[in-house]
Amino acid sequence: MTQSATTDVDAAFTLSLPKVELHAHLTGSITPQCLHEIWQQRKLSDPNLALGDPLELLSKDKTWNATTFFPLFSSYIYALCSTRESIIYSTNSVLQNFKEDGVVYLELRTTPRSSEGVSKEAYIGLVLGCIDNFEGKEAIPTYLILSIDRRSTASQAMEVVDLAIRYKERGVVGVDLCGDPSKGDVSVFKAAFTKAKQHGLKITLHFAEVPASSSELELETLLRFGPDRLGHVIHVPEEMAHEIMRRRIGLELCISCNVQASLTEGGVGEHHFGWWKDRECSIALCTDDLGIFGSPLSNEYLLVAETFGLSRKELLKLSGRAVECIFGGEEEKQRLLALLVRQEK
């Protein structure tokens, strides 16, 4: 058993730690191996399939940045996972991986998209069906957040919100704003997020991910949407950070993603988690795109323990801070807090 000098935490501990995952993109969470299996299947039924082997495209020594990362989805992964079979196969694989990593509560997010014979609404139905039918679902209650892509028009955004409202009863808990942060004018989404809120949906936003999406105007516009949580929060002026705390907005911090994609400068030790961890706010460590960055949630907890010298007790507390900002309701919160208390004994 390896233990660092400054912490009593090891990989076995972070694996068994009850964890909640709040910022995971469904498509980005598909592992290269699973994509490879889908590719093999599709190649069998269509030898002319014009897509390369994902194991080559996503080889471990590839590094990603904001300019290479987003086209990977729009030009490759969405095209590969476009059939009914591949959507079901990949969703089940993602659920299984989170369960095996000791995640005990999951909010998956996805942008409704239509493809060969699958409408946007049918796509949502397929994903929710996988969640409903997942074996061992009692161990990992899973909810869905529908994402609005920043490149969308106001009416496309409204379409996503209308779908979220329609499927609320089946486990859609919120609406997200995501996509290439160098694109789009966020002010056009005001009406969509207002409607989502009016219908009791929660709001989370990708926030200050790159300098181009971090102008004071953009950040203030986004805060006016009344978000319940914010993802990334990288280029945030200190005054605004205090405002975020004052409003008790939960933070989704995706450390490996930020470090590997060079969204933040330096390594894990320089990540803004170091600043936020000592503040009064809810923090959820999150994987963002496990399939790309290869760091499961248990590893994110291990990284912060080793880097910031956090003890087992402190990690249990940190996991509890993520529970505070889940979208799944009070009953889920109580169940999760009880799991953490049990783990402490």
- Which of the stretches 37-45, 57-65, 280-288, 304-312 binds Zn ion when contact is defined by CB under 5 A? 280-288
SS3 labels along the chain: CCCCCCCCCCHHHHHHCCEEEEEEECHHHCCHHHHHHHHHHHHHHCCCCCCCCHHHHCCCCCCCCHHHHHHHHHHHHHHHCCCHHHHHHHHHHHHHHHHHCCEEEEEEEECCCCECCECHHHHHHHHHHHHHHCCCHHHCCEEEEEEEECCCCHHHHHHHHHHHHHCHHHCEEEEEEECCCCCCCHHHHHHHHHHHHHCCCEEEEEECCCHHHCCHHHHHHHHCCCCCEEEECCCCCHHHHHHHHHCCCEEEECHHHHHHCCCCCCCHHHCCHHHHCCCCCCEEECCECHHHHCCCHHHHHHHHHHHHCCCHHHHHHHHHHHHCCCCCCHHHHHHHHHHHHHHHC
Closest CB 23 distance from Zn ion, rounded Å: 6
Residue nearest to Zn ion (CB): 288
- Which of the stretches 38-46, 119-127, 180-188, 282-290 binds Zn ion when contact is defined by CB under 5 A? 282-290
- Which of the stretches 50-58, 190-198, 283-291, 300-308 binds Zn ion when contact is defined by CB under 5 A? 283-291
Give the count of alpha carbons within 13 A of 109, CB side only.
30
Q: Choose between 140 and 234: whose C-beta lies nearer to Zn ion.
A: 234
Q: Choose between 7 and 204: whose C-beta lies nearer to Zn ion.
A: 204
Q: Choose between 21 and 288: whose C-beta lies nearer to Zn ion.
A: 288
Q: Binding Zn ion by CB under 5 A: which of 288, 300, 306, 332?
A: 288
101 binds Zn ion (CB under 5 A): no
Closest CB 327 distance from Zn ion, rounded Å: 15
Determine contact, residues 171/144, Cβ cutoff 8 Å: yes
Please pick, among 159, 209, 252, 306, the residue that the annotation labels catalytic. 209
What is the pattern of x (binds Zn ion, CB under 5 A) and - over residues 111-130? --------------------
Instruction: Give φ, ψ of 62 to 5 degrees.
Output: -75, 140
Please confirm, yes or no, whether 252 is among the known catalytic residues. no
Q: Choose between 90 and 111: whose C-beta lies nearer to Zn ion.
A: 111
Q: Which residue has the tokens 């998209």?
A: 113
Alpha-carbon distance of 261 to 254, in angstroms, equals: 11
Q: Which residue has the tokens 């892509």?
A: 149
Closest CB 288 distance from Zn ion, rounded Å: 5
- Which of the stretches 3-11, 150-158, 164-172, 287-295 binds Zn ion when contact is defined by CB under 5 A? 287-295
- Which of the stretches 69-77, 133-141, 259-267, 288-296 binds Zn ion when contact is defined by CB under 5 A? 288-296
Closest CB 311 distance from Zn ion, rounded Å: 29
The catalytic residue positions are 209
Residues that bind Zn ion (CB under 5 A): 288
